[in-house]
Amino acid sequence: MRYILTCFDELNLDSRAIEGIFLSHEHSDHIRGAGVLSRNRQIPLWSNPGTLKAAKHKLGKVFQHKMFTTERVIKIKDLEILPIPVSHDAVEPVCFRIHQKNTDLQVGIVTDIGILTPPVKHYLQNINLLMLESNYDLDMLVNGTYPENVKLFIMGELGHLSNREAGESLVELIGDETKHILLSHISQDNNTQTLAYGTVSKIIERHGFKKSILNLTYHNKMSNVFTFR
Ligand SMILES: [Zn+2]
Ligand SMILES: [Zn+2]
């Protein structure tokens, strides 16, 4: 929570302006800090019923629970937020498409997907900014120290996207309106920022897309800031 608030300060944003915290699924790396942020700043916490059930005991007391239905749009001010079902080892995992109606800007937040499924492809093609996971480098994972069953699980359809799979997914998702891609959820054990960028940029360039749209995210610092006019 402290890190999120520090980032808000650095960007001169007021944390009191946060309208809601949205949970994609119940895994600890995605909900750590959500309960305390909701409590301390009095921010409603949104999830679908499956994620709430699985996450409840880890969240502690929250300011307010709000429920969404997967694949049904939630309207908050001029935003339309669509939770999209994904293939991942959780009770009811989703990713999100956020549409700002006033500007017609569309943003996708997509991590923790084992494979690119038809709904993800359908809802996230040709959007303006896409944050997509590029979780592991296959060689690093295969030759790394994780137990064999965990390695197989990460590579499976309910696991994560490798750098190569992220690149191949992007080839299907990038369109004329896509201005920025952010590679995210980059494993600290089985990947590096350099490998993710290198593998993904090669694949998209081979398909005629410019690598200048690619950006990285980090574990200990903010990504670039993107402005749309
Ligand atoms: Zn997960
Ligand atoms: Zn995760």
Residue 47 CA neighbour count, 13 Å, CB half: 26
pLDDT at position 100: 96
Cα(48) to centroid of ligand 1, in Å?
15
Q: Where are the domains of the chain?
A: 1-67, 70-216
Q: pLDDT tens digits, residue range 145-156? A: 999 999 999 999
Contact 1, 32 (CB under 8 A): no
Radius of gyration of the chain (CA): 17
94-100 and 214-216 strand pairing: unpaired
pLDDT at position 2: 82
Contact 178, 210 (CB under 8 A): no
- Return the SS3 of 226: coil
The alpha-helical segments, DSSP class H, found in 64-223 are 118-124, 138-142, 148-155, 163-173, 193-206
CB atoms within 10 A of CB 87: 17
Contact 81, 98 (CB under 8 A): yes
Cα(152) to centroid of ligand 1, in Å?
15
Residues with CB under 5 A from ligand 1 (ion): 27, 112
Fold observed for domain 70-216:
Metallo-beta-lactamase; Chain A (3.60.15)
Give me the tens of pLDDT residue by residue for the chain, a chain 229 residues long.
Answer: 788 889 989 999 988 889 999 999 999 999 999 999 999 999 999 999 999 999 999 999 999 999 999 999 999 999 999 999 999 999 999 999 999 999 999 999 999 999 999 999 999 999 999 999 999 999 999 999 999 999 999 999 999 999 999 999 999 999 999 999 999 999 999 999 999 999 999 999 999 999 999 999 999 899 999 988 7
Contact 166, 196 (CB under 8 A): yes
pLDDT at position 92: 98
Closest ligand to the CA of 86: 1
- Could you tell me the CA-to-CA distances from 68 to 51, 72, 136 in Å, in that order? 10, 7, 31
Cα(103) to centroid of ligand 2, in Å?
30
The secondary element (H helix, E strand) that includes residue 55 is helix 49-59
Q: Write phi, then psi, for 117 (nearest 5 degrees).
A: -90, 160
- Return the SS3 of 43: coil
